[in-house]
Amino acid sequence: MQLLKQLGKQLGLVILMGSSVFSVSSASAQAVESQVLVNVDVIYGVNYLKCLLSCTTTQKVDVVTIGGRLNLNSSPYISRIVFGRNLLVDPFSINFLNDKNVGGSRPDFTDSLNSYNPFLEVTFNEKPATTEPPNNRLTLDLDYIGSNPPAFPYNNTTCKDGNGCVLFHYGYSEEITSTGPLTPSFFQTLIQLRDGNSLARDIRQMATPIVTSSQGGVTQYLIVYHEQIDPVENGVVIGVWTEFPVGSGTSGEEIPLQKKLKDIVQTQPQTQTLSYSNKNPGLIKISNTRVLLSATQIPLDKLQRKDLPPADPRFIPLPSADGIIAPGQTTTPVTIQPPIQSSKKAMTWIINTTVNVNGKTYVQARYDSQTNPYSGDTSINEVRSLLCIRKSQELASNPIPNIATGTAYTNSWSGGEVFAIPEVVGSSLLSPADADGKCQAAGKNRYGLSGFRMAEFHDANEPYSGFGFYAQSDDPSLSNPGTRFWVRINDQDANPWKL
């Protein structure tokens, strides 16, 4: 592949190279067939895209090709890689942030290897354009008033372009035969764009993470996040999520890929190590390495900055793994220390009743037999939903008739509306202000309203009330049986944070 256009140093471009999930690993000499799943998020600065083809009046560009390149020689243990044809995340047929569904792409696989060609490619290519909707052009409007505008504002964690950035998302699987530690064999990323009849392709080199661990069955999953740049021309940042199954010394059934994220819990593993390999001709700088241990396999579509950002408090920084890697170098393995587990518990509630009155839905949030408002009932290492409430004078002055039948002490009207944020690790709620901030941001994004905060034990309107309240809600997740919710209490040590 030929690089047709170099990146401008002064313009921002972020490529987020996504997650890899290994279904089986082996450290023995016996060859083992495994599956690797790769998710990719690509974020480009708007000013860079305008100048990739033309720096004049370009406002729209078509995406022609998105994909990646692997190097079979990136690991001495790998003897075979074949791309899966059925497990794909097509950037031309998804709606992820500013991507548009334009009817799918034409995937192209190159995985027939021989001694003269150790490289593999998987690309998603536009189909021939049609005149009938939906046509197959994935067109980017490089301003904020078009139909497919920039996804991220300036100064977002991933965007340093004053005019914002745009994002792509794609994924694929690799079927690998290996006699040792598995690697995703990253080598290069590429994207091809069109402005009128002009085409430009940009290619960037990549390093590959390598994880070693003890034998004994897949019982946990290690997610490694890192960022990499070319230290000479540092206008490109590549962020990589890689998910490895690791053994703890005892056999365990492999957990299906689609198992829900809510069961994630960090548990004690045996020691693993992390190193990086650079099979490219140029230097690569690794930074911001972070690791997360999960008892369940995190679905591929959750391993990106929207659902699993590197700032997630479950990630443990591993700065000793960072550094500059020379061409052909593999870094010295760094031991991954298991996370310290908290013994603290926090209080949870349930939704006990859901009723409809005059076309509106109301729920009764309350304690149950599991709830412990004094010392907590659920480990803060676990994942639960976060219950958020917004009180208003309008709702307070219009209590629902014949429903809030509780006493002055329990289950009375709150004068509020509630919703839930799913999949929240208790330990990620660092303080009352932090929990309220999460509710405020989610409520603003979901409803366009300010004033949401974490629900509290005494949120009913009656004096001295507690143990439950009624509130208005249009959140369908609040009617799911068995769901438990983090709820704070202001006068006891039953919160995820210290009192």
For the segment 232-267, what is each residue's pLDDT rounded down to a tens digit? Answer: 866 667 778 888 877 654 333 333 433 333 333 333
Per-residue burial over 79-106, b = 16 or more CB atoms within 10 Å of its CB, e = otherwise: eebbbeeeebbbbbbbebbbbbebbbbe
How many Cβ atoms are within 10 Å of 128's Cβ, its own excluded? Answer: 7
pLDDT range class, residue 269, cuts 50, 70, 90: very low
How many Cβ atoms are within 10 Å of 443's Cβ, its own excluded? Answer: 22
Whether the pLDDT of residue 29 is over 70: the answer is no
For the segment 89-108, what is each residue's pLDDT rounded down to a tens digit? Answer: 888 887 666 677 888 899 99
The CB-side HSE value for 142 (13 A sphere, CA atoms) comes to 26
- The model carries a pTM of 0.61
The runs of H, that is alpha helices, within 305-458 are 393-396, 432-447
Mean of pLDDT values over 415-442:
90
What is the distance between the alpha carbons of residues 179 and 445, in angstroms, rounded to a whole number?
48
DSSP 399: P
The CB-side HSE value for 460 (13 A sphere, CA atoms) comes to 24
For the segment 297-309, what is each residue's pLDDT rounded down to a tens digit? Answer: 777 777 777 778 7
Radius of gyration of the chain (CA): 25
Per-residue burial over 355-394, b = 16 or more CB atoms within 10 Å of its CB, e = otherwise: eeeeeeebbbbbbeeebebeebbbbbbbbbbbbbbbbeee
Question: Which run of H or E residues covers position 400?
Answer: none
Average pLDDT, the chain: 78
For the segment 64-79, what is each residue's pLDDT rounded down to a tens digit? Answer: 999 888 887 767 778 8
Mean of pLDDT values over 310-329:
89
The predicted pLDDT at position 264 comes to 36
Pick the more confident residue, 31 or 374.
Answer: 374
How many Cβ atoms are within 10 Å of 16's Cβ, its own excluded? Answer: 25
For the segment 449-461, what is each residue's pLDDT rounded down to a tens digit? Answer: 999 999 999 998 8
Whether the pLDDT of residue 150 is over 60: the answer is yes
Lowest mean pLDDT among 104-108, 163-167, 277-281: 163-167
Whether the pLDDT of residue 216 is over 90: the answer is no
Mean of pLDDT values over 205-223:
74
Helices then strands, counting H and E runs in the chain, come out as: 3, 28
Pairing of strands 284-294, 316-317: antiparallel
Whether the pLDDT of residue 488 is over 80: the answer is yes
* Sequential DSSP letters for 234-283: -SEEEEEEEEEEE--SS--PPPPTT--GGG----PPPPEEEEEE--SSS-
Mean of pLDDT values over 329-356:
87
Closest listed residue to residue 3, CA positions, set 218, 230, 290: 230
